[in-house]
Structure 1
Amino acid sequence: MAVSLIDAGLFSLAAIVLLGSPGPGIAALVAVGKAEGFARGLRFYGGLQVGLAVAAAVSAAGLFSAIQALPYAVTAMMVAATAYLLYLAWRIATAPVGAGGPAAATVAATSAGGFLLGVTNPKAYIAFASLMASASLVRSDSSADAALKWLLCVVVMIVADILWLWLGAAIERAKPRPSTERAINLAMAATIAGTALAAVL
């Protein structure tokens, strides 16, 4: 199985740009890290990774087009993802700040919440579908090509998302002033809500 390292490197770079750049999932990871800390935030992170890996596998298998063909399937996914994201944004925006903030604000940081966000987000499917449709990395074997692309996407997500979770925890450890913390919360909530609404409007 011949794999071009240059092509694999370019694919990984594209995956970093598409999957590691700020969006609702990234903002949610930062918010969870800030509210729950790194260790407790791993629950949400783990669920998100499993959900995204499933979404990537669906795209790698070419099943996203089949999902799109089902009546209301994409709409149902979008409604579920948007509802969860808006709920998450509201919890972040209204979370207490100061000494009692993190303990009182769970921001729905559960593994089930992370999985739901990962597996129902149509934007993630679109990103994966774009990556899977890119130039072949294994030209002699389409199944091996899809598997390698899936693996590279998963590795990129694992590394990029753990860094975003760590950043959120680092913000909390820095103990910002309540006014600064409130501004951070509102900015993250606005990012999540804005991106969620933009997907359905």
Structure 2
Amino acid sequence: MSDALPFTLAAVALLGSPGPAIAALLAVGRAQGFRASLPFFIALQLGLALAAGLSTAGLVSVFTAIPAVERALMLIALAYLVWLAWKIGSAPLGGVEVSTASSLGQGFLLGIANPKAYLAFASLIASFAILPRGSVGDGAAKWAILVAVMIVVDLAWLAAGAALGGLKLSSRAERAMNLAMAAGILAAAALAFL
């Protein structure tokens, strides 16, 4: 029997829960509005789709089987997430302006280096069978569902961030929101590395 529906529901729960990418989508959406944030969103989705593909193909297991490579990847991901948290937490009031070129690179890097996403992908892929387990079709179906769920869930978070941008907040409330989003990124990163 196919686990497509339970897989999809679990993907919505895991991929829709707060983490580094969602905190970044909220921050970028709030600072730049929905339309101006689309380059960041698209680049993030491309990075996440590649990460989901690597996870589905089992290549992440190969990388993590070599301790030095695993440690290097973890340090790169951690350094990026700490930098991202700092950038959001220290953003000037009114938000950060990000050029389209840098938002493309930042979005892709966040997608491909997001430890929470890899943990979610690995857990989902190993826990469900949509088609006969181990078949190419099973992996392709899981990847397609993961990508579709990511797009829908992340669009919703981006829209929420853009809606927050329309709120008139006091300087103190805006600084608190920036710090809360930065803390969310650091907490998600810490949990992923434990």
Does structure 1 retain, via aligned residues, the 8 Å contact 2:44–2:111? Answer: yes
Over the aligned positions, Cα root-mean-square deviation in angstroms equals 2.0
Match in the other structure for 2:172: 179
Output the TM-score relative to the length of structure 2: 0.90
**Which one-letter code corresponds to 1:115 in the other structure?**
F
Moved over 4 A (4+): none
Alpha-carbon distance in structure 1 between the residues aligned to 2:183 and 2:85: 7
Does structure 1 retain, via aligned residues, the 8 Å contact 2:52–2:121? Answer: yes
Alpha-carbon distance in structure 2 between the residues aligned to 1:140 and 1:65: 17
Does structure 1 retain, via aligned residues, the 8 Å contact 2:21–2:114? Answer: no
Does structure 2 retain, via aligned residues, the 8 Å contact 1:92–1:107? Answer: no
Which of 9, 14, 28 is the equivalent residue of 1:18? Answer: 14
Alpha-carbon distance in structure 2 between the residues aligned to 1:24 and 1:75: 20
TM-superposition CA deviations, 1:45-90 (whole Å, max 9, x none) = 1111111101111111111211111242222222222212211211
> Number of matched residues?
192
Deviation larger for 32-41 or 133-142: 133-142
Match in the other structure for 1:196: 189
Match in the other structure for 1:160: 153
Unaligned runs of 5+ in 2: none
Match in the other structure for 2:78: 82
Match in the other structure for 1:125: 118
Alpha-carbon distance in structure 1 between the residues aligned to 2:133 and 2:186: 43
**Which one-letter code corresponds to 2:92 in the other structure?**
P
Cα 1:169–1:19, aligned 2, differ >3 Å: closer, same or farther? same
Which of 37, 41, 57 is the equivalent residue of 1:45? Answer: 41
Percent of residue pairs identical: 53
Output the TM-score relative to the length of structure 1: 0.87
Structure ID, larger Rg = 1
* Counterpart check, 1:138 vs 2:131: yes
Match in the other structure for 1:106: 97
**Which one-letter code corresponds to 1:51 in the other structure?**
G
The structural deviation recorded for 1:198 is 4.1
